[in-house]
Amino acid sequence: MIEFKKVNKTYSDGTEAVKDFSLHIEEGEIVTLIGPSGCGKTTTMKMVNRLIEPTLGEIYINNKNIKKYNIHELRWNIGYVLQQIALFPHMTIGENISVVPEMKKWKRKDVDKRAEELLQMVGLDPSTFKKRMPQELSGGQQQRIGVIRALAADPDIILMDEPFSALDPISREQLQDDIRKLQKEIKKTILFVTHDIDEAMALGDKVCLMKGGEIVQIDTPQNLILHPATDFVKDFIGERKSPWQTAVDVIAVPDDEVVLSQELYKKGEYDEQKIYFVIEENGTYLGTLQYGKLIDGETLDNNIPLYKATEALQSKEKLPVLNGNKLVGVLSYKLIVNYLKSKTKVENGVIHS
């Protein structure tokens, strides 16, 4: 989908901001870019929509060199959230969100509907906020508008440069959730810059760690922790026994919403639209009930480490954890993320256990 081929950027004063940068982002993937201040993250990102031109190398989108696209079309199809919020000060919030859909000549009522949907998505009541001016919003609220404005015209690619940095932890988590959901449903391709290693790990299918304009390591979150390429990587994410090594049954929980007794199953007392894990009275797992059909669903052994479970959980929302043939709990992606958060403390971008 997006491919950097040996990209270099040297600014006119001789600063080598990005060096020999090669990266392939698949369609529907989230890659998080992380690294110390000044390592070239923003420069890398701005080269994708040609706000900055590389000095050397090429960038391709859908196998076509970005120089071959009409620049306006290129930019309209790439949502961009800037590191510094830049809402148009003389336009209302509603108008700010609608800029790109209008350039794309969407129908008035579709533009309005979209703006309202997006405001609701980030917890801002459209009837209050649509008519306000940017300076009548708090910093965090403006940041949320910046995020949804980038999503407004439904672009295939979204570039986000530290979009959540001014938000409180709860709004931040909410928006992270929204981004993940959105990406699951409509498979956006996202390049996401952050200073927060937890955020990088929680959001990224892959995490790209940079230093001095170069990629030090690009890998899945679990591999970055388990197989750091250099001491810099180790220091950056913090040396510790990784919580990813924890056995899954430590964090699996009983979950009444998805565990169904054999008795209720036989009586047909369940919602056919949902997925259940059916158990006998003594806890023996019988199978997974999917749209009214009992199948040999996927399960997790109680003693496998978390990092192995995350792969299975990429396609399933929840999975049953078994000790032998007995169900001991249910595991979800969210539980894993919360657990990892509880196990770590971040100071200046470095994780401490």
With CB under 6 A as the contact rule, which of the stretches 13-21, 173-181, 216-224, 253-261 interacts with ligand ATP? 13-21
Which backbone phi and psi does 49 adopt, to 5 degrees? Answer: -100, 20
Q: Which is nearer to ligand ATP, 13 or 257 (CB)?
A: 13
**What's the rounded Cα separation, in Å, for the pair 46 and 291?**
45
Instruction: From the list Mg ion, ligand ATP, none, pick the one residue 281 interacts with, judged by a Cβ distance below 5 to 8 Å according to partner type.
Output: none
Cα distance between residue 296 and residue 318, in whole Å: 15
269: Cβ–Cβ under 8 A, 6 or more apart, which residues?
A: none
Answer yes or no: are the C-beta atoms of 245 and 307 closer than 8 Å: yes
Nearest-angstrom CA–CA distance, 45 and 137: 27
Name the H helices within 26-168: 41-48, 71-76, 93-103, 108-121, 126-129, 139-151
Which one, 40 or 243, has the nearer CB to ligand ATP? 40
Query: From ligand ATP, Mg ion, none, which one binds at residue 111 (CB under 5 to 8 Å depending on kind)?
Result: none
Query: Does 15 help bind ligand ATP (rule: CB under 6 A)?
Result: yes
CA distances from 207 to 178, 215, 272 (A): 19, 10, 38
**For ligand ATP, which stretch binds (CB under 6 A), given 8-16, 178-186, 312-320, 337-345?**
8-16
Residue 38 sits in the site that holds ligand ATP (CB under 6 A): yes
d(CA 108, CA 36): 44
The span from the CA of 146 to the CA of 67, in Å, is: 26
Binding part of the chain for ligand ATP, among 10-18, 93-101, 114-122, 197-205 by CB under 6 A, reads: 10-18
Minimum CB distance to Mg ion, residue 159 (Å):
12
Among Mg ion, ligand ATP, none, what does residue 39 contact (CB within 5–8 Å per kind)?
Answer: ligand ATP
84: contact with ligand ATP by CB under 6 A: no
Both structure tokens of 13: 């004063």
Residue 92 interacting with ligand ATP (CB under 6 A)? no
Using CB under 6 A as the binding criterion, the count of chain residues that bind ligand ATP stands at 12
Task: Write out the residues near Mg ion by the rule CB under 5 A.
Answer: 41-42, 83
Interacting partner of 151 out of ligand ATP, Mg ion, none (Cβ under 5 to 8 A depending on kind): none
The minimum distance between CB 211 and ligand ATP, in angstroms, equals 10
Residue 348 sits in the site that holds ligand ATP (CB under 6 A) = no
Which of 148, 49, 169, 37 lies closest to 93 in space, CA to CA? 148
With CB under 5 to 8 Å by kind, the binding choice for 344 among Mg ion, ligand ATP, none is: none
Mode of pairing for the β-strands spanning 206-211 and 30-34: parallel
Q: Does 42 bind ligand ATP (CB under 6 A)?
A: yes
Choose the stretch contacting ligand ATP; rule: CB under 6 A; options: 31-39, 100-108, 278-286, 341-349: 31-39
Q: Are 189 and 25 in contact (CB under 8 A)?
A: yes
Does position 257 bind ligand ATP by CB under 6 A?
no
41 binds ligand ATP (CB under 6 A): yes
40 binds ligand ATP (CB under 6 A): yes
The residue among 341, 255, 342, 249 whose CA lies nearest residue 304 is 249
347 in contact with ligand ATP (CB under 6 A): no
Angle, nearest 10°, between helix axes 108-121 and 139-151?
130
Where does this chain bind ligand ATP (CB under 6 A)?
11, 13, 15, 17, 37-43, 83
